[in-house]
């Protein structure tokens, strides 16, 4: 192995041993470069922000979050509804980094605190917060106002997301401590208010009349400053696709509140 770059460049290899060492050296350079290239390939989609995802409660700003996450999944383990999942390499936003797919399973703060934040060993989920109200993961936005049932003055009867939906939610009137399947809940409301009804944060969303006419049943969901972006409204919305969705890392602005269309 006593083979140096100097020998490689200076002369043609003479002995069989030198030839072997030269081959081994070149192979090492090739495979080493390949390994680094592969690791960097996994970094490209992250730095160019191909895919944005909802991060768990308390996540630092994306660059700091990505830098500090040690990819251990302790946040995944403490979550009672298993809202947090770890990304795969192909997801393009960090192998082993946690995210939340709110439509599939939102964070509904069933843990009554921010257990994931407490579990995080590196502070990627910042220890600066300890209450669910302090979380700012994103902001609920009425993305498809036309499909909103309340805006059409319609009620809702049945299972919010159908019988097959596997998502969990804690219904305090059913079981204070354990989340149950959303599919196990039968709704019957005259005017659909599921997003408001199931929101785990006080005064984060409310329904407002769409006209001054008292006989007008139509209401529109208005997102307020307290919204933490947990995605519960997105998960429970019976419209397909959801009328209301969470935009990750979006910040509430007074002027933008209310209906976007």
Least Å from the CB of residue 104 to other proteins:
15
Confirm or reject binding of residue 123 to other proteins (CB under 8 A): yes
Query: Given the complex with other proteins, which of 16 and 39 has the nearer CB atom?
Result: 39
Spatial distance between the Cα atoms of 30 and 220, rounded to a whole number of angstroms: 61
Query: Given the complex with other proteins, which of 40 and 174 has the nearer CB atom?
Result: 40
Spatial distance between the Cα atoms of 114 and 3, rounded to a whole number of angstroms: 56
Confirm or reject binding of residue 69 to other proteins (CB under 8 A): yes
Pick the closest to residue 56 from 132, 125, 134 (CA basis): 125
x/- contact string, 24-53, with other proteins (CB under 8 A)?
A: xx-xx--xx--xx-xxx-xx--xx------
- For residue 174, say if its preceding peptide bond is cis, omega within 30 degrees of 0: no
Confirm or reject binding of residue 195 to other proteins (CB under 8 A): no
Two tokens at 133? 């109200």
Query: What's the residue count for the chain?
Result: 261
Q: How far is CA 219 from CA 30, 199, 203, 250, in A?
A: 64, 17, 16, 24
Site stretch for other proteins (CB under 8 A), options 84-92, 149-157, 163-171, 187-195: 84-92
Q: Which of 13, 18, 92, 95 binds other proteins (CB under 8 A)?
A: 95
Spatial distance between the Cα atoms of 124 and 56, rounded to a whole number of angstroms: 10
Confirm or reject binding of residue 63 to other proteins (CB under 8 A): yes
Spatial distance between the Cα atoms of 44 and 41, rounded to a whole number of angstroms: 5
Confirm or reject binding of residue 119 to other proteins (CB under 8 A): yes
Please list the alpha-helical segments (H only) found in the chain: 5-10, 16-41, 44-47, 62-68, 74-78, 115-119, 194-197, 232-236
Least Å from the CB of residue 162 to other proteins:
25
Q: Which of 17, 52, 61, 96 binds other proteins (CB under 8 A)?
A: 96
Least Å from the CB of residue 78 to other proteins:
7
Spatial distance between the Cα atoms of 155 and 208, rounded to a whole number of angstroms: 15
Size of the site for other proteins (CB under 8 A): 46
Residues near other proteins (CB under 8 A) are 1-3, 23-25, 27-28, 31-32, 35-36, 38-40, 42-43, 46-47, 63-64, 66-74, 76-78, 85-86, 88-90, 94-96, 119, 121-123, 127
């Amino acid at each position: 192995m006593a083979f140096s770059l100097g020998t490689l460049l200076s002369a043609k290899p003479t002995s069989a041993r030198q030839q072997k060492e030269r081959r081994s050296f070149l192979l090492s350079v090739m495979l080493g470069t390949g390994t680094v290239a592969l690791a960097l390939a996994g970094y490209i989609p992250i730095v160019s922000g191909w895919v944005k995802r909802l991060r768990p409660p308390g996540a630092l700003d994306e660059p700091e979050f990505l830098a500090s996450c040690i990819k251990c999944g302790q946040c995944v383990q403490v979550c009672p509804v298993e809202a947090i999942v770890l990304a795969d390499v192909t997801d393009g936003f960090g192998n082993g980094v946690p995210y939340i797919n709110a439509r599939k399973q939102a964070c509904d703060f069933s843990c009554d605190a921010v257990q994931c934040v407490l579990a995080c060993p590196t502070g990627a989920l910042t220890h600066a917060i300890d209450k669910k109200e302090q979380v700012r993961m994103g902001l609920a936005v009425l993305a498809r106002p036309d499909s909103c049932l309340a805006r059409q003055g319609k009620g809702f009867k049945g299972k919010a997301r159908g019988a097959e939906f596997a998502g969990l939610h804690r219904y305090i009137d059913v079981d204070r401590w354990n989340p149950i399947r959303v599919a196990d809940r039968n709704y019957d409301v005259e005017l659909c208010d599921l997003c408001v009804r199931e929101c785990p944060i006080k005064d984060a969303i409310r329904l407002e009349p769409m006209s001054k006419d008292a006989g007008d049943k139509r209401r529109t969901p208005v997102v307020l400053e307290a919204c933490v972006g947990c995605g519960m409204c997105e998960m429970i919305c019976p419209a397909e696709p959801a009328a209301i969705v969470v935009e990750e890392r979006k910040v509430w602005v007074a002027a933008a509140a209310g209906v976007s269309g």
